[in-house]
Amino acid sequence: MYNIIMYAIQLGVAIASLFNEKVRKMWRGEREAFRILKEQVDPNAQYVWFHAASLGEFEQGRPIIERLRQEYPQYKILLTFYSPSGYEVRKNYQGADIICYMPIDTVTNARRFLRLVRPCMAFFIKYEFWYNFLHILKHRNVPTYSVSSIFRPNQVFFRWYGKNYGRVLRCFTKFFVQNEQSKELLNSIGITEVEITGDTRFDRVLQIKEAAKELPVVEAFAAGRLFVAGSSWLPDEEIFIKYFNEHRDWKLIIAPHVIGEDHLQQIENLLEGRKVIRYTEAEKSLNASDTSLTSHLSPLTSSDVLIIDCFGLLSSIYRYGQIAYVGGGFGVGIHNLPEAAVWGIPVFFGPNNERFQEAQELKKNGGGLEIHNYEEFAARMDELTADPASLLKRGEAAGGYVKGNAGATEIILRQLTVLRVAKRQSRADS
């Protein structure tokens, strides 16, 4: 049944690619994957394969990729993505030797892919459970690891009707899971090679913090009280913008999840009577060759809302704020909370967060504030504004949570028998 579904998906993707640009990129990328592998795979090299569905999973796997590359240069890295939102952003990532799409999980594709690559190890990040690829990896005795995975009782593996598909979990050499519940669920179906390591994403956000960019535009703008909203959607923006239309003693930075002219116009239409400037406009002004620096800074310093209309800056922007908001909690689910919390500031988010352990933990320790509507948001903001000690305490709780949960990468690398053997062999050869 699974294979029938996979071939149906393959056909569906082919048809959908005629009408949707994102699907078209995925379809072309999957077909080009075999060409890329034929051209770039070194038959004399040992490849470690990392698979991430999209950009978020890649960021979780990235600390392991970079440590492995640094400490075990004898291995080459193959990185695959399923989604264009991951591949298109990271296709030029310098930490991997080969980057391509992962073909749809048919038996034919899996056999062909693995014959070309012949990986010596494989890492699947978080939710990736591809039946055919994993079974062939097991048949070939390739050590295969699930990293930063998290399991819940309602998942198909733990239901009576998912028993057959659940066998895919037995293909992994070891699971590195985020919490105790995940370990218990796996143990309940007879899987015991499980280690609780936490989430490698905490290691990644600490890396990002250490390498944060200097942003002259934001520095010039960020005088006084500053609220930073990241990865926001319209339902988020309708709540927090209403508050800041009424409280003009706060400056506001908005980095929306979707950067398109229609959405940017929607945001600007919500901002009643506030002076707005876009990041790219402000950057051009600062970089202009005019001799008067004051004339360049004036539109920026006199504005009280800065809209980020480009990518790649958000993780560095949070550092300038006193309070943050991470979007998505009124829709698909919240985005990257640790990315904001690492800066030691309290973080607001919407109610769709039950699947996100970091949201639950931040709510418990006071560093995160869940809101359901405008009234809740306004009440919480008024409390924080009126009580600087509470603001500081919540910020310290948020930053402490990230630091306290770092270290998963180190634990995982220590647990990998294959790497320990490789290190001993390297020492013997020297």
| pLDDT number for residue 291 | 44
Upper half-sphere CA count for residue 226 (Cβ side, 13 Å): 22
Of 418 and 334, the structure prediction assigns the larger pLDDT to 334
pLDDT tens, residue by residue, 324-353: 999 999 998 899 999 999 999 999 999 999
Is the predicted pLDDT of residue 425 greater than 70, yes or no? no
Q: What is the mean pLDDT of residues 362-385?
A: 97
pLDDT at 289: 47
**Rounded Cα distance, 324 and 253, in Å:** 10
Residue 288, pLDDT score: 65
Per DSSP (E only), the strands in 189-245 are 194-196, 225-232
Local confidence band at 424 (pLDDT 50, 70, 90 cut-offs)? low
Residue 397 has pLDDT above 90, yes or no: yes
Which pLDDT score, from 0 to 100, does residue 297 have?
58
Q: What is the mean pLDDT of the chain?
A: 90
For residue range 75-131, what is the model confidence (pLDDT) as tens digits? 999 999 988 878 888 999 999 999 999 998 899 999 999 999 999 999 999 988 999
- 153 vs 354: CA distance, rounded Å: 13
Model confidence pLDDT, tens digit, residues 23-35: 777 777 778 899 9
| pLDDT score at 80 | 96
Residue ranges with strand state E in 72-222? 75-81, 98-101, 121-125, 144-149, 174-177, 194-196
Q: Does residue 286 carry a pLDDT above 60?
A: yes
pLDDT value at 383 more than 60: yes
**What number is the average pLDDT over the span 259-264?**
94
Q: Which two tokens stand for residue 183?
A: 């370990």
From residue 280, alpha-carbon distances to 239, 241, 286, 300 in Å are 25, 21, 10, 11
Pairing outcome for strands 347-349 and 368-370 = parallel
Token reading at 65: 């990729």
Report the pLDDT value the prediction gives residue 287, as an integer from 0 to 100: 72
pLDDT tens sequence across 296-318: 556 788 899 999 999 889 999 99
Return contacts of 375-382, CB within 8 angstroms, 24+ apart.
377/239, 377/240, 377/243, 377/348, 378/243, 380/348, 381/243, 381/247, 381/323
Of residues 197 and 161, which shows the higher confidence score?
197
Residue 419 binned pLDDT confidence (cut-offs 50, 70, 90): low
* pLDDT score of 174: 95
Q: How confident is the model at residue 427 (pLDDT cuts 50, 70, 90)?
A: low
pLDDT at 197 over 80: yes
Among 17-21, 69-73, 76-80, 117-121, the least confident range = 17-21
Least confident range from 80-84, 199-203, 252-256, 413-417: namely: 413-417
Residues forming a β-bridge with 100: 80
Strands (E), 82-136: 98-101, 121-125
pLDDT at 84: 85
Express as a percent the part of the chain with pLDDT over 70.
93
pLDDT top residue among 223 and 391: 391
The pLDDT assigned to 188 comes to 94
What amino acid occupies position 237? E
